[in-house]
């Protein structure tokens, strides 16, 4: 039977409903719930899942209900499907902790969701009689331990089963777009994807030099790892080397409060937002996920991005683009050459490289801290986590960057598992300290206060430019004609903590860092644009470097200065109708002049 589809109904200011309406079905995307309650939107895995989802991140305390209204074609019998995931299933084969129920018009169904299965899957109910076309639905969390919901489907065809194959599921979602084609976002000179320090600095620098910028960020706030969501302090030094004005914009954005895993206001999200919004040449698109790249020849002609909650798609066209995503997502979709993992000694002649290339990367950190509440605070004794004992437990009340996972997994396709293992380690260790540790009295009044659910990633794809920075350049402090940003951080590479390996072989959640001190050196401009996508800049940890060299360029003050240079180069491209390579080949002196001059505010204290 041929179906007719509709999607996304907005009822005034009361509710936002995402739905598929055929003769018998309605699909509700969980991220479009009108009231998220205590549930959070998790967009980190859209590339793998095809959609964001909402998650009950309560750190062991059930969160308040997420609610919305649904319009059904008519009253009657419906079978309901919920797409969810038993997130502890890679490590624990019993019932998982991510449990929740569904309320229909304030009546809770008996069925518990999210506790079984081994993949993202549809869990279905028995047929339910629904007596009204307008239905109030609620997701009711039972544990606070990261239950998750992607979508809810109502079907009056009681024999219907929604697709489970990811490609078919994406086809289903793509067929349900509200708009027949993406709407134009406007006219821009430069489109930047990624609102971390690198992308934000690039946007401000370009805007101050007369470039009309679209800044696309897939989170509700700017800052990336230096935001209140991840809470990593800024590393590296600024205002040094050949161009001491580089770093002035980084300084403007800096909260001046150092450190990792600190209270949210230490990262001053509002300051970043206000600085960007003060620039008349920047249009900011928060909560937009870039999901498609369209090319013309060897250049990008446009990017399509989807609003995470509404599904609204926008088209971004410009002569220039910048990939500041960290994962090299735009370059990857555009077919840019990239590297991932560790290169061998033979490949680049690096003394610190392994004899054979491999897939090892630095990991991602899920940081956390507790607070003393001065009175006893309970925490559930869990049986679904990692088993700890007196020797293997971490007797800590705070987890810094060393809580790092996923070094032996793919930081792109396995990233949900990587993040989830970080959560599993934290909750399991805390449960042991609170309930079984022989000195648990010392943790009696302490409560988990913050656990990141957005994981801080260090390494994934590195897009290849006209030059690949390597260990020898750093050790020998080679100054190339296109020298730009001065990098000051040591060659800082992370590995599984051997002590952690002893207790948890191949399932480590702690890391160590091995440092090789350096003399500050300049990064060639040629590392900041793609060698085979003609109009694509890069800034941040996805620039053109080897794994060894990444150990020194990946910190955020350095990445922010890269962004400043990209913004300057974009202004030259606009002025002379050239591309990033053209700046190197024909207008390098102009770039040097801008780097010497700087575009930051000079009246701020460092």
> pLDDT per residue over 465-493, tens digit each?
999 999 999 999 999 999 999 999 999 99
Identical fold between 9-174 and 183-351+458-597: no
129 forms bridges with which residues in the sheet?
77
**536 and 456 Cβ atoms separated by less than 8 Å:** no
**120 and 42 Cβ atoms separated by less than 8 Å:** no
Which of 56-60, 177-181, 444-448, 559-563 shows the lowest mean pLDDT across its residues? 177-181
Give the three-state DSSP class for 416: helix
| DSSP label at residue 383 | S
* pLDDT tens per residue, range 7-22: 333 333 333 344 444 4
Percentage of the chain surpassing pLDDT 70? Answer: 94
pLDDT of residue 604: 53
* pLDDT tens per residue, range 198-253: 999 999 999 999 999 999 999 999 999 999 999 999 999 999 999 999 999 999 99
pLDDT band at residue 602 using 50, 70 and 90 as cut-offs: low
Residue among 125, 24, 145 at smallest CA distance from 80:
125
Residue ranges of domains in the chain: 9-174, 183-351+458-597, 364-456
SS3 sequence of 508-568: CCEEEEEEECCCCEEEEHHHHEECCCCCEEECCCCCCECHHHHHHHCCHHHHHHHHHHHHH
pLDDT of residue 10: 33
| Contacts of 268 by beta carbon, 8 Å cutoff, 6+ apart | 255, 257
CATH 2.60.120.260 fits 9-174, yes or no: yes
pLDDT band at residue 164 using 50, 70 and 90 as cut-offs: confident
CATH 3.50.50.60 fits 183-351+458-597, yes or no: yes
545 forms bridges with which residues in the sheet?
469
216 forms bridges with which residues in the sheet?
193, 285
Distance separating alpha carbons of residues 121 and 125, to the nearest angstrom:
13
pTM for this predicted structure? 0.95
Q: For the CA atoms of 496, 500, 505, 509, what is the dihedral angle to 10 degrees?
A: -60
Mean residue pLDDT across the chain? 94
Look at strands 9-11 and 15-17 and give their pairing. antiparallel
Tokens standing for 211? Answer: 């470039």
């Amino acid at each position: 039977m041929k179906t007719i589809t509709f999607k996304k109904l907005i009822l005034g200011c009361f509710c936002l409903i995402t739905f598929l309406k055929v003769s018998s079905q309605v699909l509700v995307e969980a991220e479009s719930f009108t009231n998220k309650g205590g549930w959070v939107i998790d967009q980190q895995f859209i590339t793998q899942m095809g959609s964001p989802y909402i998650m009950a991140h309560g750190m062991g305390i059930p969160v308040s209900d997420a609610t919305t209204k649904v319009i059904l074609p008519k009253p009657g019998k419906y079978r309901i499907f919920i797409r969810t995931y038993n997130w502890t299933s890679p490590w624990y084969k019993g019932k998982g902790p991510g449990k929740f129920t569904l309320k229909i018009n304030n009546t809770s169904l008996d069925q518990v969701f999210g506790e079984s299965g081994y993949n993202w899957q549809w869990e279905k109910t028995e047929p339910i009689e629904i007596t009204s076309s307008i239905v109030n639905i609620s997701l009711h969390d039972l544990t606070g331990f990261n239950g998750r919901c992607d979508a809810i489907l109502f079907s009056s065809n009681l024999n219907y089963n929604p697709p489970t194959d990811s490609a078919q599921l994406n086809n289903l979602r793509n067929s349900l777009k509200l708009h027949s084609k993406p709407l134009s976002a406007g006219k821009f000179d430069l489109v930047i994807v990624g609102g971390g320090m690198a992308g934000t600095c690039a946007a401000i620098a370009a805007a101050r030099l007369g470039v009309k910028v679209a800044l696309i960020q897939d989170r509700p706030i700017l800052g990336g790892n230096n935001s209140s969501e991840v809470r990593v302090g800024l590393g590296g030094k600024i205002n040094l080397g050949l161009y001491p004005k580089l770093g002035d914009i980084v300084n403007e954005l800096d909260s001046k409060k150092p450190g990792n895993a600190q209270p949210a206001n230490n990262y001053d999200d509002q300051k970043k937002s206000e600085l960007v919004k003060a620039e008349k040449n920047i249009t900011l698109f928060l909560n937009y996920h870039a999901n498609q790249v369209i090319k013309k020849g060897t250049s990008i002609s446009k990017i399509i991005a989807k609003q995470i909650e509404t599904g609204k798609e926008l088209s971004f066209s410009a002569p220039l683009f910048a990939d500041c995503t960290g994962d090299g997502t735009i370059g990857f979709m555009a077919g840019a050459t990239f590297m991932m993992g560790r290169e061998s000694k033979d490949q680049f002649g690096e003394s610190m490289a392994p004899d054979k290339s491999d897939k090892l990367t630095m990991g991602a950190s899920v940081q956390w801290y507790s607070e003393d509440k001065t009175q006893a605070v309970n925490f559930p004794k869990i049986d679904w986590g990692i088993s700890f004992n007196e020797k293997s437990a971490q007797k800590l009340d705070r987890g810094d960057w060393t809580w790092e996972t996923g070094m032996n997994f793919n930081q792109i396709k396995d990233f949900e598992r990587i993040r989830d293992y970080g959560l599993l380690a934290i909750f399991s260790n805390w449960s042991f300290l609170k309930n079984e540790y022989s000195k648990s009295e010392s943790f009696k009044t302490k409560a988990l206060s913050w656990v990141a659910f957005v994981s801080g990633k260090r390494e994934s794809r590195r897009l290849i430019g006209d030059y690949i920075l390597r260990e020898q350049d750093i050790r020998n402090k080679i100054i190339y004609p296109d020298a730009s940003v001065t990098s000051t951080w040591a060659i800082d590479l992370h590995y599984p903590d051997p002590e952690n390996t002893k207790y948890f072989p191949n399932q480590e959640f702690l890391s160590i860092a091995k440092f090789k001190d350096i003399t500050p050196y300049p990064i060639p401009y040629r590392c900041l644009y793609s060698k085979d996508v003609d109009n694509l800049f890069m800034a941040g940890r996805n620039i053109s470097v080897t794994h060894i060299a990444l150990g020194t360029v990946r910190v955020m003050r350095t990445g922010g200065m890269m962004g400043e240079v990209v913004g300057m180069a974009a202004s030259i491209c606009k002025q002379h109708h050239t591309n990033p390579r053209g700046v190197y080949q024909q207008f390098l002196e102009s770039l040097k002049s801008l780097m010497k001059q700087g575009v930051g505010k000079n009246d701020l204290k460092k």
